[in-house]
Amino acid sequence: MSNEPQTVHLALGMFLFVLVTFVLVPLTLMLWCHFEPLQVLQSGDAGTFRTAASHGDLTNVATSTGVITVKDGFSALVGQPLLVRTTNKYGLQLCTTGVPHHCTAVSGTWVGPMHTVTRNEHWYIRNFSGIRESLLPMLMMGSVTAFLALIATVAVAADRIRDDEDDRIRR
């Protein structure tokens, strides 16, 4: 008696499990995080801009309150007010006030005072999971790689089962 129908059902079940676990769940998280609205969670005063000096991919921004190290570059007008904010999508950022979308990620932590910004009380996935926008492509790439590896494993296993069945039939 052949186990082929059971083998087919097992392979189909494994395929669906792998598809849901390694493709659909990460894809859903990725889309959810991407389309989630940007919310400022906290903000704090960083003083006024004085100067900036780049060192590789980091920039030291001198302000009236001290030096803040940020990732990539940063520029502003001398004397322009700066603020530090935490957002649900990008984490801790140094921003110029009055210029929308002129922010860059802070390298490290902020020890100055931060004030909670009143906002709509929605459940955001990043508050729960700690997922950041920069991690999403790596999460998806790793999931697709794992999916392809498991599909290849299932294909090899199904081939071996078929060969074993053929050998039994020939005997």
Q: Is the pLDDT of residue 18 over 70?
A: yes
User: 104 and 52: one domain?
Assistant: yes
Which residue, 171, 113, 133, 135, is CA-closest to 36? 133
In a domain, 129, yes or no: no
In a domain, 128, yes or no: no
Could you tell me if 108 and 69 are in contact, meaning their C-beta atoms sit under 8 angstroms apart?
yes
Round the average pLDDT of the chain to a whole number and report it.
81
Q: Is the pLDDT of residue 5 over 60?
A: yes
pLDDT over 90, % of the chain: 30
pLDDT at 1: 46
- Domain count within the chain: 2
CA distances to 1, 2, 3, 161, 165 from 169, rounded to whole Å, are 9, 9, 12, 12, 6
Lowest mean pLDDT among 1-5, 94-98, 142-146: 1-5
| DSSP-assigned letter for residue 86 | E
- Domain span at residue 160 reads 4-36+134-170
Total Cβ atoms within 10 A of residue 76: 21
User: 45 and 20: one domain?
Assistant: no
User: 111 and 155: one domain?
Assistant: no
Is the whole-model pTM more than 0.75? no
Could you tell me if 89 and 122 are in contact, meaning their C-beta atoms sit under 8 angstroms apart?
no
pLDDT over 70, % of the chain: 85
pLDDT one-digit tens code per residue, 122-134: 555 555 556 666 6
In a domain, 21, yes or no: yes
pLDDT one-digit tens code per residue, 105-126: 999 888 889 988 876 555 555 5
User: 50 and 101: one domain?
Assistant: yes
pLDDT one-digit tens code per residue, 43-78: 999 999 999 999 999 999 999 999 999 998 899 999
